[in-house]
Chain A
Amino acid sequence: DDKLLSEPLSHPDFFNVKELFSLKDLFDARVHLGHKKGCRHRFMEPYIFGCRLDQDIIDLDQTMQHLQLALNFTAHIAYRKGIILFISRRRQFCHLVESTARECGEYAHTRYWQGGLLTNAHIQFGSGVRLPDLIIFLSSLNNVFEPHVAIRDAAKMNIPTVGVVDTNCNPCLITYPVPGNDDSPTAMELYCKLFRMAIIRAKDKRRQSEVFDELR
């Protein structure tokens, strides 16, 4: 049982997430497009490649690295049977995110966030709740263009976060930020596809290793 858990940690890319996406895929899905110069957040400046006609362009090399780290981390969490929560407060993609979560067998929250969901969980849900082990933000702002309350709450409850940060978002409290576009439908579909494939791969690998252990 210890071998099952410690073996993936020895490899840098045990689940081979690098082959899931390429630079061209990111470019075709318009992930590099940011908001206008006036919307730029100060802490996003390191991730921005440049500015063209007032529109910020995100550096896709850095995005590649960050995305690979994030997918690797999600895969490890899924391998160790952790609970993953997808959050996105964009109304256009609410249905897409919920269906992705359902297909993975994980959880989603694309609705109004009630104040004490994470911090007051024992009273809101019941006494034996298990909180999510990873929170994935597919859009880190809420409908009023402010940082989502769940970022701060996850930091308070020691829950690691993975988030797609656009040029107007604050990447500070997110453990694995992924600079990229969160407004185009193609970009969102790409992210959903990537996370779904990573999680399913990790779960299949876990099932296979358990079967091998039982045979031995």
Chain B
Amino acid sequence: TLRLIYTTTAVQRKNVGASGPEKYTEAFIKKQIEEFNLGKRHLANMMGEDPETFTQEDIDRAIAYLFPSGLFDKQARPMMKHPSEIFPEQRKIQWGEDGRPFHFLFYTGKQSYYSLMHETYEKLLSVQKYQDQLTAQDLPPQKEKRNLAGSRWLTKIELEEMLLEKLSDNDYLRFIQLLQKLMTLPRGDMEEKYIQKFTKEVPAQLQKVVIEPLKYDERGVAFSTGEGIRKTAKATATVYDNGTGKITVNGIDILHYFPVLQDREQLLFPFQFLDRVGKHDMICTVSGGGRSAQAGAIRLASAKALRSFVTEKEVEFMRQAGLLTTDPRVKERKKPGQEGARRKFTWKKR
């Protein structure tokens, strides 16, 4: 140990904030777990349920019932969870009583990361040796299936959580490169298990929009329905095949419901785009919004209904033309201190 010969007052003053985040001792966490279990049993008794079969969901419901809170942030509301979820996992002291560290790579600073690299490199060497043995015996190389799109590598944050250590971007890149190199070699089953520890399943593929098939009514005519929204107006449209091009809105013909040419043009646009102007009948219901909004809503609804009548290529054309996208523009709210959503009060110089 070094002997401190001369110090300034600055060094002698204890800097409370510089010691880092609070370190929780093992005894403290044990006590917290005991208190949690006792509290769980008390809560179960209070709610009148069986203490033995009181799950975490029951705890959450009980707390939400006993301490109702109107706060928006769920994390700010009162909660009762197991201490391992509340207190973040921390590193215990790395050396024993005689001072010798437990891990052989302790003096590098990042012991878990480097030991991981060491293990992965060992696996790589063993696989290469196995491959050399095979070529020495002149056996053909093994072909194996690899799941291409089902899994992804762990992200840097997930790896940090796994190792309980901070990593730099370069370290993470190096590790992923090593794993990819291991992947490319023809590997045995043991390596698969090891690599699976560092992969995650990609949950679901992109949700493909399912085009509903055509339905047939009593007369044998094919029809399909669609719904559309535009700026507080909601519309539902049913498009019938073998028609003359009649369009009815809320039981009223479009000429009477939409006196303005612009709105009628909006309604006809999907049919015009697909060159099916006079071939379909349409009956729609619409509510809410204004004149133009209702027209836009019916347009979207009819386009969605027409998807079932049309090939996939034409559906793609419709999507690119913007017929199938819900217009997200809504009325912007008025802010305090301004006259409208954007308009400020008149600025007076003096």
Smallest Cβ-Cβ distance to A126: which chain B residue: B93
Task: Kindly identify which residue among B105, B110, B122 contacts A95, using a CB–CB cutoff of 8 Å.
Answer: B122
With contacts A108-B104, A109-B105, A117-B109 taken as known, whether A128 is within 8 angstroms of B125 at the C-beta atoms is no
Contact status B107-A107, CB under 8 Å = yes
Contact status A101-B104, CB under 8 Å = yes
The residues of A that contact B100 with a CB separation of less than 8 Å are 81, 83, 130
Contact status B95-A130, CB under 8 Å = yes
CA distance A132 to B106 in the complex (A): 11
Contact status A98-B93, CB under 8 Å = no
Q: How many residues of B contact A (CB 8 A)?
A: 19
The residues of B that contact A132 with a CB separation of less than 8 Å are 107
The residues of B that contact A108 with a CB separation of less than 8 Å are 104-105, 107
Q: How many residues of A contact B (CB 8 A)?
A: 22
CA distance A61 to B108 in the complex (A): 35
Cβ-based interface call for A129 (8 A)? yes
Contact status B104-A128, CB under 8 Å = no
Contact status B104-A102, CB under 8 Å = yes
Contact status B122-A111, CB under 8 Å = no
CA distance A107 to B108 in the complex (A): 9
Smallest Cβ-Cβ distance to B125: which chain A residue: A95
Which residues between 92 and 137 of chain A lie within 8 Å of chain B, taking CB atoms?
95, 98, 101-102, 105-109, 111, 114, 117, 124-126, 128-130, 132
Cβ-based interface call for A85 (8 A)? yes
How does the 8 Å CB contact mask read for A37-64 relative to B, with 1 for contact and 0 for none? 0000000000000000000000000000
B65 to chain A, nearest CB (A): 45
A195 to chain B, nearest CB (A): 14
Contact status B118-A95, CB under 8 Å = yes
CA distance A148 to B244 in the complex (A): 89
Contact status B95-A111, CB under 8 Å = no
CA distance A83 to B98 in the complex (A): 11
The residues of A that contact B107 with a CB separation of less than 8 Å are 85, 107-109, 117, 132
Contact status B105-A107, CB under 8 Å = yes
The residues of B that contact A106 with a CB separation of less than 8 Å are 104
23 contacts between A and B (CB under 8 A): A81-B100, A83-B101, A85-B107, A95-B118, A95-B125, A98-B105, A98-B118, A101-B104, A102-B104, A105-B104, A107-B101, A107-B104, A107-B106, A107-B107, A108-B107, A109-B107, A126-B93, A128-B93, A128-B95, A128-B99, A129-B95, A130-B100, A132-B107
